[in-house]
Structure 1
């Protein structure tokens, strides 16, 4: 860009500038600690901006089934990034629309900008980009250089535009006259406003055709779609070929995607015109293609509804199967309690958080279980293990966990329990197990007892362990101490 052009722009008193709320939105968008609450407080100061966000939240752009009645609801539905992008676009509209006798040309520029914004959004959806609102904002601002030139030199730039038949001709005339085009001027202006880098880059690349970034390719194609919409009938065929070529080089499937985008634009045109306060008519040369595209869209939507219903049902069945399989993978198939692998994963998580609350584990081993297997057989032994696990589950709190650790050994995780309270819980459990038949053989009850070792990790010097392994080893040592002392008892680590 020539130095004299930059000087002219810098000294232009009428050069468009963002309103105060837009500058605050720009700052908030670049704050990594920004929140929806801060955005709501800022946007809520501007009633017109709040009303636009409410309107866009209830528009066909966001097909929600329930009506959005408050700004808070709108922002929660849109999300922080989308809210800030939309708010910035709306707030810049008024700041960029000057009043210097060039209203008709300004309106033409804004029509192209709004159509490009919506086309960029639709192209992003076609390519599965997750940045619909930032695409819309970049598309909306890609022509701010034209508005800046129009404000800085209204008569000269209006005359330059009057002599053009299409956007390509305008770009050539701009480069010849200024040694820069309106995309260069727009990028320069965006950097002066401290807009996010991605916006400046998108504006600078908007009139190119060789970007590698999918985001930039959508912006480049969006301008060609806007030019097709605004082209006079005699230039429509050339504009259509250019738009198809741009889309084909950007995302592929040129004609198919173009028809999809045009149909979406046609459907949402009344709402778009109201949202952005610009009159956009349906061009006669696109009526046929738009009608055909709209019919295809209706048929496609009907198929999608049918497919979505079937897919939703299949997804629910699959999700339930996956949930069941996941649950089965975490459970011991014989007793139904958690298995050792899952409990070790849980223990690692609980151990990491144990600085806030104590973590107590207890290893339980059924006494003389081999004698039960030898006397009654393994089927009765399995029944004893199942009944024992069920008895423990009934006795424990909902926050406590039990897993089969191996053979007749079980592991308990007693969250938020101190050593003394854990001992009381295990003592009550021992009494409950001792008087509850674990099986009935030939009409006679089979009873059993267990031995338990308890260890607690709570950060105190005598109860501080470096790992889950050390904690379990401590409980295991105490357990076998209880076995040596005669079984049918509960012992504490360090006692």
Structure 2
């Protein structure tokens, strides 16, 4: 890795400004104290809130949340604060710039997701401080921003090269005599990032070329940054490009002990935090679907589906002769739909796309062995349904046992005999047919279950609803009252009820008939529902009597609500076949008191107040307080 002064540059590099620069200068002194850093940080409210958020995020609920800058710096450490301040400063400064082909917003969106991924995987693997890994992830590709800043025109032209996506570093060296990884490492070293982290960052795009000893901490950090980078690449891919990346992520996740489900949960959580941080930093975070959806095979087009009796078979072998023979026999002699791959990694990506029913894979392959491919497939829900046949020239008892324990269903010894292959496929076909029948039955069962659930919900609704007024019935109302009573007890809140009765309703039925009476009930019920507040519950107790439950409402507020409701119904004009009918209600109001033992006591008190309102001449509200009744005029 070159030092910064040895890299040929013709313009000004991105650098932290303002508070971040002041923090950087303070950190270069040996006698700097936490209090001095805190005083500088507190002059920037945005930086202060970001550091507090990061400190609380890093703790992951293990300790109490903090709210002060001093506590945040103490938890993060001065070195991490310096790195974060630099990163956040660059994010704020370079939301756009002079390089036309460089997407500044996408760059920071990718960097933010990589930072969060590095932090999360760091916490899992204990390879370093998760807060420091966040800062390193955010700055890992700062060399690209630097080249866009120093050489805006030349770099813009370079990015438009058709090969830029695949060999960017080579093009940068060819045209600019440096590359973004080299420049990132030099800048991070200049800014004081430890060399134990700079080396892995320098090699993170191509970890296989790092030269670090397998299993060493630098090699593991390189793999961690590589995994974080590939997770961040999800933000740049389209739906059609994700299958190969998802298969690669499953393999990389396995290297740090994550199976497909655990990796999916982790990535979904990262995406959620990515969106939250994106809002804080004003960085766009695209809407990624859940990992389970991204990792599920895509629905095949009609022309990709196998014909009746034919199976979709994926053949994997790094020997082109064996691969050709198997393809010829399976496709031409047996009439199956065949897909082929020459490596385990290619096969895993292809399996996501083509949904094979059977996979025939060689055991010994250089990049990803047949056993590793089997484990990767079995780690997914859809991969557990595949019938796996292992090709091997090894047929000792130990190897065969190892293969079956890894998840294979059958094995074939090399060279493959066509008759034996045909016989093995009969068993595979029988398995596939049973699986298809089971999935059809399961789909039917799901449909029946869904229909039953809908029917049950309808029956429950009917059982709890008054058919005439569509209000909840007495049973539902008493249930709502019990819940309100329990909440009132739990939170020590007031609770009031109103019991309403339509005045002279029998006279309406006798004069106009029951059909008109029903119309009056419906209109009054609708009016009660309209006047009720959002948290109030209304039900029909029976006949012309209604109940309104008013949570967190004392006797005075309940009386005001009763009077408002009474006046509204008094003004109501009900037009029935040209006849205008006016109606009034009497209302009894009661609030929960210490002497009341249960919800029935409360309703009984409101009933007493209702009867007093009727005795006093109807069309009025009456309250009961500590056993004493009082009616409004």
Q: Is the 8 A contact 2:101 2:159 kept in 1?
A: no
Offset, 1:24 = 3.7
The corresponding residue for 1:242 is 248
Deviations 1:447-472 (A, max 9, x none): xxxxxxxxxxxxxxxxxxxxxxxxxx
Deviations 1:210-259 (A, max 9, x none): 4442333311221111113321122111222333344445x243635532
Q: Is the 8 A contact 2:158 2:164 kept in 1?
A: no
The reply to whether residue 42 of structure 1 matches residue 47 of structure 2 is no
Q: Is the 8 A contact 2:113 2:274 kept in 1?
A: no
The corresponding residue for 1:269 is 274
Q: Is the 8 A contact 1:89 1:140 kept in 2?
A: yes
The corresponding residue for 1:233 is 239
Alignment CA distance shift 1:180-1:242 (3 Å): farther
Selected match of 2:202 from 204, 210, 214 = 204
Offset, 1:127 = 0.7
Offset, 1:34 = 4.2
The reply to whether residue 157 of structure 1 matches residue 155 of structure 2 is yes
RCO higher in 1 or 2 (8 Å CA, sep ≥ 6)? 1
Alignment CA distance shift 1:237-1:187 (3 Å): same
Offset, 1:33 = 4.9
Offset, 1:183 = 0.7
The corresponding residue for 1:474 is none
Offset, 1:69 = 3.5
Deviations 1:346-373 (A, max 9, x none): xxxxxxxxxxxxxxxxxxxxxxxxxxxx
The corresponding residue for 1:90 is 88
The corresponding residue for 2:142 is 144
The corresponding residue for 1:320 is none
Deviations 1:399-449 (A, max 9, x none): xxxxxxxxxxxxxxxxxxxxxxxxxxxxxxxxxxxxxxxxxxxxxxxxxxx
- Indicate the SS of the match to 2:207: coil
Q: Is the 8 A contact 2:80 2:131 kept in 1?
A: yes
CA distance in 2, matches of 1:268, 1:2: 35
Deviations 1:38-70 (A, max 9, x none): 221221232321232234345587437866433
Offset, 1:32 = 5.6
Q: Is the 8 A contact 1:111 1:278 kept in 2?
A: yes
Offset, 1:181 = 2.9
Offset, 1:82 = 4.2
Alignment CA distance shift 1:160-1:244 (3 Å): farther
Q: Is the 8 A contact 1:124 1:135 kept in 2?
A: yes
Q: Is the 8 A contact 1:236 1:285 kept in 2?
A: no
Equivalent residues, number? 290
The corresponding residue for 1:419 is none
The corresponding residue for 2:123 is 125
CA distance in 2, matches of 1:108, 1:203: 20
- Indicate the SS of the match to 1:17: coil
CA distance in 2, matches of 1:61, 1:156: 44
The corresponding residue for 1:115 is 113
Q: Is the 8 A contact 2:114 2:228 kept in 1?
A: yes
The corresponding residue for 2:68 is 70
Q: Is the 8 A contact 1:209 1:246 kept in 2?
A: no
Offset, 1:280 = 0.7
CA distance in 2, matches of 1:245, 1:231: 18
Q: Is the 8 A contact 1:2 1:179 kept in 2?
A: no
Deviations 1:200-219 (A, max 9, x none): 33432222214442333311
CA distance in 2, matches of 1:74, 1:102: 38
Q: Is the 8 A contact 1:22 1:92 kept in 2?
A: no
Report the TM-score when normalising by structure 1. 0.50
The reply to whether residue 217 of structure 1 matches residue 223 of structure 2 is yes
Q: Is the 8 A contact 1:145 1:185 kept in 2?
A: yes
Report the TM-score when normalising by structure 2. 0.40
Deviations 1:313-341 (A, max 9, x none): xxxxxxxxxxxxxxxxxxxxxxxxxxxxx
CA distance in 2, matches of 1:93, 1:199: 21
Deviations 1:284-342 (A, max 9, x none): 48472599xxxxxxxxxxxxxxxxxxxxxxxxxxxxxxxxxxxxxxxxxxxxxxxxxxx
Alignment CA distance shift 1:60-1:201 (3 Å): closer
Unaligned 5+ segments in structure 1 are 292-495
CA distance in 2, matches of 1:242, 1:180: 29
Alignment of 1:60-459 (within 5 A): 62-63=60-61, 68-97=66-95, 99-100=97-98, 102=100, 105-163=103-161, 167-178=165-176, 180-210=178-208, 211=212, 212=216, 213=218, 214-249=220-255, 251-253=256-258, 255-256=260-261, 258-284=263-289, 286=291, 288-289=293-294
Offset, 1:278 = 0.6
Alignment CA distance shift 1:287-1:30 (3 Å): farther
Q: CA RMSD in A?
A: 3.8
Alignment CA distance shift 1:77-1:194 (3 Å): closer
Alignment CA distance shift 1:91-1:187 (3 Å): same
Unaligned 5+ segments in structure 2 are 297-633
- Greater share of helix residues, 1 or 2? 1
Q: Is the 8 A contact 1:114 1:276 kept in 2?
A: no
Alignment CA distance shift 1:286-1:64 (3 Å): same
